[in-house]
Structure 1
Amino acid sequence: MDLSCFKAYDLRGRVPDQLNPVLAEKIGRAYVEITGAKKVIVGYDIRLSSPDIAEALSSGLMAAGADVFDIGLCGTEQVYFATSHYKMDGGIMVTASHNPKDHNGMKMVGPESRPISSDNGLNEIRDRVLEPFGDAPQQGRYEPLEVMSAYVDHLLGYIDAGSLSPLTIVCNAGNGGAGLVIDELEQHLPFEFVKVHHQPDGHFPNGVPNPILPENRAATADAVIAEGAAMGIAWDGDYDRCFFFDENGRFIEGYYIVGLLADQFLRKTGGGKVIHDPRLTWNTMDLVKAAGGEAIESKTGHAFIKQRMRDEDAVYGGEMSAHHYFRDFAYCDSGMIPWLLVAERLCQSGQTLSSLIDARIEAYPASGEINRTIDDPPKVIAAIEAKYSVGAKSVSHVDGVSIEFDDWRFNLRMSNTEPVVRLNVESRADIPLMEEKTEELLAEMQRLNEER
């Protein structure tokens, strides 16, 4: 049996050769045997293969003795919400997020929506799938569960509805599931939504929903300009990530959104801890300190960020990859809470999104993440560290290597999921320096890669 769909954090693979209903049924049985779960939330995304895979998964869960609470078509964060809100033993979301349309996958959590990754159960589930199964003495039962109303109520709890004023907002669901939530939220908010690629459609008629690809941004940017909107928001297919466009249609790097959300959240809580990834840090640290909070660096990746947030009781965590985590959302990531907070900030401040962001870009200009395919990543990273650590103010290994000087810094790390090396560079209010150092590092990486 091909088990290549099991990855470090979740399952993803082509349907039907890498993931199919037969395998999904076995995964359901293995999940119960390894975790001991008795009550499990199951939800699925808009992909054409998702209902059949979710049904087979549920059959396996019930055959192993677990009760299945089916929340139907939803986003990943609704599985997280339902698992914690209803105090279930676990939850499984059938989704392949922004992978090609012939792919599918699963994201798994345990009690309190704690992630199940390769280091805490996912590999055991994979290995158990290969062994024969017997049915549990008592079959689990099946129950549909409506979570949208409780979920929407929870989302609205993050903002002060009385401080909101009318705004025009472009929302691009990418034919994923986000439009269903916008339609529910719309009834409670004074905003006018301009809906782009709004209908859920697993055929993905406008391409796979992945706004991080520059070619997928034009539809949102053009609509913002055409409608004179205050901002644009675009989501990936299972809407656990959201991406922002200012009133000029400009795509905003996720790094600057982390700082903005940290600032907005700390204003509400009157302080607290904020977890951030090590790729780009200065802007976030500056804003968190100014708002009376404490910034704490964590290794990149949702499992690491969520655990660190729990350890520190942090109110918010953000990654520049557009994942945003909230303590009151079971320390999980949401693609809906961030834009509600940004919209609230626009209403309360009377400022445009560009004016809020421009000041931060000027203070801490950044290269954005640059990926390069490298034959021997550890060798190249070690050589870069040896060269640049001379005279550096600090060298850190929280994730890859981060090297800091008085007026610029960079992070170089291997991807957790792809055979590439990722570079991020930032400076203190000096765009030419940031650009010069970025080019210098890229040239050095290429030279080292070509050395035999």
Structure 2
Amino acid sequence: MARSAESVSAVIKAYDVRGVVGEQIDEDFVREVGASFARLIRSEGASDRVVVGHDMRESSPKLSQAFADGVTAQGLDVVLIGLASTDQLYFASGLLDAPGAMFTASHNPAAYNGIKLCRAGAKPVGQETGLAIISAELVDGVPEYDGTPGVVSERDVLADYASFLRGLVDLSQMRPLKVAADAGNGMGGHTVPAVFGPLPIDLVPLYFELDGTFPNHEANPLDPANLVDLQRLVVESGADVGLAFDGDADRCFVVDERGEPVTPSAVTALVADRELAKEPGATIIHNLITSRVVPELVLEQGGVPLR
């Protein structure tokens, strides 16, 4: 069905699809997004399947299934990985060498949902790399496909994802740690236990119950008000460190042993220093709002900073 350009542009943003469920985004809408995305992927001849994951929001399972219906109607297969963090979906995109779709509205309120799209290897899809094409097709109406429909399968990648994360650093000399973690009722409650399980970590969980209504506080650690409970828990439990995750667990903020927030720029600098020790001269990617200390440190250590 054809849609107005205004209604489409209100939902398909610069880097993702996002809107209020039932008002701006519903199963019919995401089914068409899935069909258009499949047409885009099929036209590139890069893959014959799409991997799909979703967060804990009440609307996510049905929306992700509708998207899968749109993909298979265009002749591509779908691999459903079920409950996942956004990073877990990106991992699956690399593991399976397939484009992906993650259903989440990240840190947005409960009424919202959306889709983060990527090509194989977790290469992001934005306005200039596909979303504009999808928008245009939704306005004009997505053409039907007269070939054989795709099929849907399921695969659990959580254990593989957790193992991959643990392999990013040398844990052979790791000392026992007490770690307090606030999942904000988001996907950190799903991934953190799997990642930390085999490690010498005494995990102190906070709000690990998956609940897309966010009954305790917004799953947005950017807002200092949402760190208060974790700061208190770190001090009361005597934890070595505190971790606060957003709704889809692709962002993590750190609180030190005194309950004080650690600037993300300091964390980035620490990680950059470690990675440059392993790979001298490497390129270190940082974002626009990172402190100047990060590119300065990268240059001092012989690396190449890339904003």
After TM superposition, is the score higher than 0.5? yes
Residue 10 (structure 1) aligns with: 16
- Contact 2:85 2:191 (8 Å CA) reproduced: no
- Contact 2:35 2:142 (8 Å CA) reproduced: no
Among 265, 271, 274, the residue aligned to 2:284: 274
Letter in 2 for 1:22: D
How many Å apart are 1:265 and its aligned residue? 1.7
SS of the residue corresponding to residue 188 of structure 1 reads coil
Are residues 1:95 and 2:104 paired? yes
- Contact 1:14 1:102 (8 Å CA) reproduced: yes
Letter in 2 for 1:206: N
Letter in 2 for 1:240: D
- Contact 2:181 2:243 (8 Å CA) reproduced: yes
Letter in 2 for 1:185: V
Are residues 1:182 and 2:188 paired? no
Structure 1 gaps of 5+ residues are: 299-452
In 1, distance between residues paired with 2:268 and 2:48?
Answer: 37
Residue 24 (structure 1) aligns with: 30
SS of the residue corresponding to residue 236 of structure 2 reads helix
How many Å apart are 1:280 and its aligned residue? 4.3
SS of the residue corresponding to residue 28 of structure 1 reads helix
- Contact 1:15 1:103 (8 Å CA) reproduced: yes
Among 293, 297, 305, the residue aligned to 1:295: 305
Are residues 1:210 and 2:220 paired? yes
SS of the residue corresponding to residue 43 of structure 1 reads strand
Deviations 1:167-206 (A, max 9, x none): 1110111000112212112321001010001111112111
- Contact 2:53 2:103 (8 Å CA) reproduced: yes
Between stretches 180-189 and 36-45, larger displacement belongs to 180-189
Residue 147 (structure 1) aligns with: 157
Residue 117 (structure 1) aligns with: 126
Letter in 2 for 1:233: L
In 1, distance between residues paired with 2:112 and 2:210?
Answer: 17
How many Å apart are 1:34 and its aligned residue? 2.0
SS of the residue corresponding to residue 48 of structure 1 reads coil
SS of the residue corresponding to residue 28 of structure 2 reads helix
In 2, distance between residues paired with 1:140 and 1:35?
Answer: 13
- Contact 1:101 1:208 (8 Å CA) reproduced: no
In 2, distance between residues paired with 1:132 and 1:222?
Answer: 52
SS of the residue corresponding to residue 195 of structure 1 reads strand
CA 1:133/1:236 → structure 2, altered by over 3 Å: closer, same or farther?
same
Residue 237 (structure 2) aligns with: 227
Among 261, 281, 289, the residue aligned to 1:251: 261
How many Å apart are 1:281 and its aligned residue? 4.2
- Contact 2:188 2:247 (8 Å CA) reproduced: yes
In 1, distance between residues paired with 2:299 and 2:261?
Answer: 26
- Contact 1:12 1:104 (8 Å CA) reproduced: yes
How many Å apart are 1:33 and its aligned residue? 1.2
In 1, distance between residues paired with 2:270 and 2:25?
Answer: 39
Residue 173 (structure 2) aligns with: 163
How many Å apart are 1:290 and its aligned residue? 3.8
- RMSD of equivalent CA atoms: 1.4
- Contact 1:170 1:229 (8 Å CA) reproduced: yes
Deviations 1:18-47 (A, max 9, x none): 111010111111111122152100000111
Among 15, 39, 42, the residue aligned to 1:33: 39
| Matched ranges for 1:21-100 at <5 A | 21-36=27-42, 37-88=47-98, 90-100=99-109
In 1, distance between residues paired with 2:259 and 2:18?
Answer: 33
SS of the residue corresponding to residue 133 of structure 1 reads coil
Structure 2 gaps of 5+ residues are: none
| Matched ranges for 1:345-360 at <5 A | none
- Contact 2:163 2:195 (8 Å CA) reproduced: no
Between stretches 128-137 and 154-163, larger displacement belongs to 128-137
Give the TM-score of the pair, scaled to structure 2.
0.92
Letter in 1 for 2:101: I
In 1, distance between residues paired with 2:120 and 2:63?
Answer: 23
In 2, distance between residues paired with 1:291 and 1:39?
Answer: 42
How many Å apart are 1:271 and its aligned residue? 3.8
In 2, distance between residues paired with 1:284 and 1:134?
Answer: 49
In 2, distance between residues paired with 1:182 and 1:80?
Answer: 16
Deviations 1:112-167 (A, max 9, x none): 22111001110111111231532441010000011112111111111212110111
**Sequence identity of aligned pairs in percent?**
33
CA 1:248/1:271 → structure 2, altered by over 3 Å: closer, same or farther?
same
Residue 367 (structure 1) aligns with: none
- Contact 1:211 1:234 (8 Å CA) reproduced: yes
Residue 351 (structure 1) aligns with: none
Letter in 1 for 2:262: I
Letter in 2 for 1:15: V
In 1, distance between residues paired with 2:243 and 2:219?
Answer: 12
Deviations 1:273-332 (A, max 9, x none): 212234444311332234332323x2xxxxxxxxxxxxxxxxxxxxxxxxxxxxxxxxxx
- Contact 1:262 1:288 (8 Å CA) reproduced: yes
How many Å apart are 1:216 and its aligned residue? 0.6
In 1, distance between residues paired with 2:241 and 2:291?
Answer: 25
In 2, distance between residues paired with 1:33 and 1:289?
Answer: 43
